[in-house]
Structure 1
Amino acid sequence: MKKFGLTLTTAALLVLTTNGCGSGGTANDAATSDTGKASNANTQEASGGTVELTFGFNGGDGPTYDLYKSIFKEYESAHPNVKITPQAIAKDFTSTIMTRIAGGNAPDVFWMSNQDMPSFADRNALLDLTPYDGKDFQSGDYLDNIMAGYKWKGNIYGLPGDAAPIVLFYNKELFDQAKVDYPTAGMSWDDLLQKAQALTVKKGDQIDQYGYAQDVTWNFWAPFVWQNNGDILSSDGTKSAINSPESSEAFTFIRSLMNEYKVAPTASSMQTTPSYQLFQQGKAAMYFGGSWVASTILRDTNFEWDVVAPPAGKSKATAMALGGFAVSKTTKHPEEAVKFLSWLAGEEGQKRKFEGGFAGLPTLKSLINTPLATKGFEHPTYKNIHLQEIVDSTQYARVAPSSANWTQINAEMTKLLQLYWNGEQEIGPTLESVDKQINEILSGK
C-alpha cells in the first residue's frame, strides 16, 4: 500500500507538530524553480503581451506540486493572457520568501500560513487585499473563524485555501478488546481520563500500552486552555493572558495524564518515540492529533480506527492549522495577481484542489458541508470511518493568536514550558515566567 498520497501543505506549517510527526514538520522551503533556480519572471512579460505571474509553492517536487501545476494550467486555459510559473521552495520557506521580498524578486503570489501573515504584513511585505474585497472575492464566503486568520489590524492580507483541525483518533480494536465504549464528540475531561485508564496496560512496572497520547507543542495544549475558557493572549493581542486559573487547570490536567495517572507518555519519552508513532504501532488507544494523519500515516496501519471531535471542558474548542495565499507588495501585476489568487482560493480553485485528492478541508461556506470536504482524507481501505467528525470540528476550531511576534512567542513558550512538562517546575512559577516573557516580547523589551 502506498503510504503517502498528496501531502497536506497546511501540515508543513506545523511548527505545530513535534519531532517531525505526521506529514508535518516546519514550514520548509529554499527558493528553487523547476530548474532549481529562482525566476525573475514577475518583472517580465512573455511575448505577445502575456502577463507572467510566479507562484511560490511551499514544498518540493511531488504529487501536491504536480496537482498545483495542473490547476495552474486550467487557469491559463481560461485566461490566455496569463502564464503561471510555479517555483518550488523546499527549505526555509518563510525566511526565503522574506529575503526575496527584500531583494525585490519575490514570487507574485505565494503560500502563506496564518501564523506568519501578521509579521509579513507588519513589514509591509504583503499587498493589502481589502480594496479587492467585494470585487475580486467575497471575504464573507469563507468560514468566519477561518477568514479571521488572514485579517490583521482590520485589513485582509491573504485568502485561506485549506484547513486542518486537531481531532481525536482512536483504535477501535483496543477499545473492543477492553470492552470500553468508544469516545464521543465533546466528552468531558473526566470521560477522557476514565477511558485512558481503562485502556492503559502494564507489564510489571512498564507501560505496554497507553490509553492516550498527545504532543505538547502549543496547538495540542491550547485546545484544553480554550476549553477551560482560558487564553494565550488578550483579545486585542497586546498582552499575555496565559497566567490564569483557567490555564493552570488545563496544564495541570494534561500533565496529570502523563505523570500522575500514567495513562499517557511523558514529554521526555516522546522525544524518542513520538505520540503519533505510538498510535500507529498500536501502543496508544487514543491520539489527539492533526487531521492530516488520516491521509498519511493511518493509511499504513493494520488495525481498525476511527476519529471523533475533541473532548470539551467548559466550552468546545480545538486548534486548527491553515494554509493560504498572499500577494507580494512588490508585484508588478497586482490586478492580475489578485484575480489569480481569488480564483485559486475561491470555489473553482478549491474544487479542483480537493477533487485532485488534496488532504485538507475547504475553507468556503459553500463547500465545507459537501462530499468534497472529506475527499482528501478518504482511502479505499477505510471502512465506516466518521470523517465528518473532522469537518464538524471546524465549527469551534481556533487558529494561532494573531501577533506579529507569534513565532518568537511560541519559541519562548515552548522552551519555558518544557521545565513543566519534564516535572522540573510546577505550573504556578512556570506560567509566571511564560507570562512575563510574552509581555516583554509584546512590549518590545
Structure 2
Amino acid sequence: MKRTWAALIAASALTASTACGSTGGDGKAAEKTANSAAKSDEPAELTFYMTSNKIEEKAFNEKYGDKIREKFPKYTIKYIMQEDSKTLPNLIAAGQTIDIMISSIGLTSAFLNNMNLQYDISELIKTNGYDLSKLEPTSVEIQRQIANGGMYGLPIGTSSAALFYNRDLFDKFGAAYPKDGMTWDEVYELAKKMTRKEGDIQYKGLTMAFQHLMFLNQNSAEFVDLKTNKSRMTEESFKKTLLNYARFYQIPGNELPKNKFTLASQSTPFLQDHTAAMYITLSAPPKDDPTSPNWDVVQVPSLTDKPGIGMQSYPTYLYLTSMSKNKQAAFNVMSYLTSSEYQQWMVETGGGFSSLKDPKLLETYGKNAAYLKGRNLKSLLPKTFAAPTVKTEFQALGDKEGYTALEDYLNGVDINTALRSASERLDKAIAAQQGK
C-alpha cells in the first residue's frame, strides 16, 4: 500500500499548479433539503471525484474508500477517476452526479467554481454541530475568503513547502547538511557552494518550484487585488519575493535553461538525475522508489524580517457539490474524514498532513510507513504559516505573468520595468476574461 499512497500524495501535491480558488459569488445557498434528516445508518450512494489526474481507484480506496465503507457499512461508495481536464465537463454533460469533490485549493476555481458546483455548507455545519475551531485556522480562513463568508468545503489535509536535500551530494562534496532555522541568505550561500561542475556533470546547488513558492510566499504578496481585480505585481512585497527567488537562478551553473522556467527543469535534477543538492517544493515527500534520491528535509528558510514564519498553507478540501442528492449523508462522511479518528490513522500511515490544529499529529506523521523512517519529518510543515493570500479566479493569468517577469529580469530587463510590463498585461488579461 505504501507505494500507492506515496504516488497519491505526490500527485495531490503537484496539483498546486496554475489554477486557484475563486473568490466568486455566494454560490449555491445551503437550502434545507429533503434528505437533511438522513442518518448514517440509512442507505445512501455517494460518488467521489478527485481533481488530481489519474488517481486510480485502488489508491482512492486505500486512502478514503475502505475507511468510509468500514465506518458507514450501509453507504455505497463510488469513485470516478479523472483522466484529463475534459473528464469533469464530459461527466456533467452526461448527467453524472458527483457528491463529494476532493481538490486542492489550487484547483478549486477550475473544477468547482467554474463548473458552478459550489455549495455553501454553513447550514449543515450549524445543524450538525460541527466544530470548526478544531481545524487549522488558515484553512478555514481560505474557505471564508472564496465563499464570501460561507464555507464550500472542509479541509481533509494541508500542505505547505519544504527544503529537500540530497544527502549523498553533501557527503560527496564534504559539506554540512542544511538545517532547520536557516535564513534565505544562508541557503543562498550554501547553494553557491554546492553548485559546481565535475567532468561533464553540472551540479546545481538549489532548484525550486517557483510558481508554488510565489503562490505560497512568506510575504503574503498577492498577484491580484480582490476588491479592484487589478494587478498588485508592482508592489514592494511582490518585488522582494520575486527577487529573493530570482537570485538563485543567477548563480553561475544554477541558471534556468535558456532563462525559461519549467517545473520539470527544477524537479528532474533532484528527483531523477540526482544532480541538484537541494530542492524547495511542496511538502509531499519523494515517492517510495529506488530511483528517488537519498533525501532528507528541513524547513523552508526564513526571511530575516519574518523569523520563524513559513510558507502559507496549501489545503486539500472535501467539497459537497450542489448536484448531490444525498447532502446529509455526504456531510456525515466529510465529518468523519475530518475527525481525530480518521486523521490520526491518515497521518500515522503517511497518507497526508492533518487538517486539525493539534500539533502532536505531525509528530506521528509516517509512524507506520517504513520508507519514511529516520527522516526529519517534523520539518515538512512550518510551525507558523504565513498569512494566507486571497485566491482569485485570475491566478492562472497571474502565474503566467509571474513567469514572464522572472524570465525578463533574468534576461537583463530592469526589475521595475519587468514587473510594470507584466502588471499591465495582467490587467488587460483580467479585463478580457471578464468580457470588458
Give the TM bin, normalised by the shorter chain.
Answer: 0.7 to 0.9
For 1:38, the equivalent position in structure 2 comes to none
Q: Matched residue of 1:233: which SS?
A: coil
Partner of 1:14: 14
- Mapped to 1, the partners of 2:249 and 2:122 lie a distance apart of 46
Of 375, 392, 408, the residue aligned with 1:420 is 408
* Higher deviation after alignment, 310-319 or 178-187: 178-187
8 Å contact kept, 1:159–1:325: yes
Given residue 84 of structure 1, which amino acid in structure 2 is its aligned partner? T
Separation in 2 of the partners of 1:415 and 1:190? 23
What are the Cα deviations for residues 134-170 of structure 1, in whole angstroms up to 9, with x where unaligned?
4432222110112223332111001111222110012
Q: Aligned partners of 2:228, 2:386: CA distance in 1, in Å?
A: 18
Alignment of 1:196-345 (within 5 A): 196-203=191-198, 208-216=202-210, 218-223=211-216, 226-228=217-219, 230-234=221-225, 238-263=229-254, 265-266=256-257, 268=259, 271=262, 274-280=265-271, 281-294=273-286, 296=287, 300-301=291-292, 303=294, 305-313=295-303, 314-315=305-306, 316-345=309-338
Among the aligned pairs, what percent are the same residue? 19
Q: Which runs of 5+ in 2 are unaligned?
A: 21-34
Aligned partner of 1:197: which letter?
K
SS of residue matched to 1:254: helix
Matched residue SS, 1:396:
coil
CA separation of 1:133 and 1:434: change in aligned 2, threshold 3 A: farther
**Among residues 341, 351, 374, which one is paired with 2:365 in the alignment?**
374
Per the TM alignment, residue 201 of structure 1 is displaced from its structure 2 partner at its CA by: 1.6
Q: What amino acid is aligned across from residue 12 of structure 2 in structure 1?
A: A
* Offset, 1:384: 3.4
Give me the whole-angstrom Cα distance separating, in 2, the residues matched to 1:379 and 1:356. Answer: 5
Aligned residues: 405
CA deviation after TM superposition for structure 1 residue 413, in Å: 2.5
> Is 1:128 aligned with 2:120?
yes
How well do the aligned residues superpose, as a CA RMSD in angstroms?
Answer: 3.7
Alignment of 1:396-411 (within 5 A): 396-397=385-386, 401-410=390-399
In structure 1, C-alpha distance between the alignment counterparts of 2:182 and 2:362, rounded to whole Å: 26
Show CA shifts across 1:403-445 (max 9, x none): 13334443x3356346426626443232123322433455533
Map of 1:75 onto structure 2: 71
Matches of 2:370 and 2:385, distance apart in 1: 30
TM-superposed CA distance for 1:124, in Å, is 4.6
Alpha-carbon distance between aligned partners in 1 of 2:258 and 2:219, rounded to the nearest angstrom: 22
Flag the 1:181–1:385 CA change in 2: closer, same or farther, 3 A: same
Q: Give the alignment's TM-score, normalised by structure 2.
A: 0.78
2:353 match: 361
In 1, the alpha carbon distance for the partners of 2:267 and 2:356 equals 29
Decide whether the 8 Å contact of 1:308 with 1:390 is kept in 2: yes
For residue 426 of structure 2, what is the aligned residue in structure 1?
Answer: 438
- Compute the displacement of 1:229 (Å): 6.2
What is the CA–CA distance in structure 2 between the aligned matches of 1:251 and 1:365, rounded to whole Å? Answer: 30
Measure the CA separation in 2 of the matches of 1:100 and 1:301: 36
Q: Which moved more, 1:5-14 or 1:311-320?
A: 5-14
The Cα shift of 1:97 comes to: 3.5
Q: Aligned letter for 1:307?
A: V
Distance 2:17 2:96 in 1: 31
Task: Flag structure 1 segments of 5+ consecutive residues without an equivalent.
Answer: 19-24, 27-41
Residue aligned with 2:353, SS? coil
In structure 2, give the amino acid aligned to 1:50: P
State the match for 1:54 in structure 2. 47
Separation (CA, whole Å) in 2 of partners of 1:237 and 1:343:
39
- Classify 1:116/1:201 alpha carbon distance in 2 versus 1 (closer, same or farther; 3 Å): closer
Task: Letter of the 1:8 partner, please give it.
Answer: L
Change (3 A) 1:188 1:236: farther
Compute the TM-score of the two structures, normalised by the length of structure 1: 0.77
In 1, the alpha carbon distance for the partners of 2:362 and 2:15 equals 29
Conserved in 2, the CA contact under 8 Å of 1:351 and 1:372?
Answer: no
Shift in Å at residue 372 of structure 1? 6.7
Q: Which residue of 1 aligns with 2:102?
A: 111
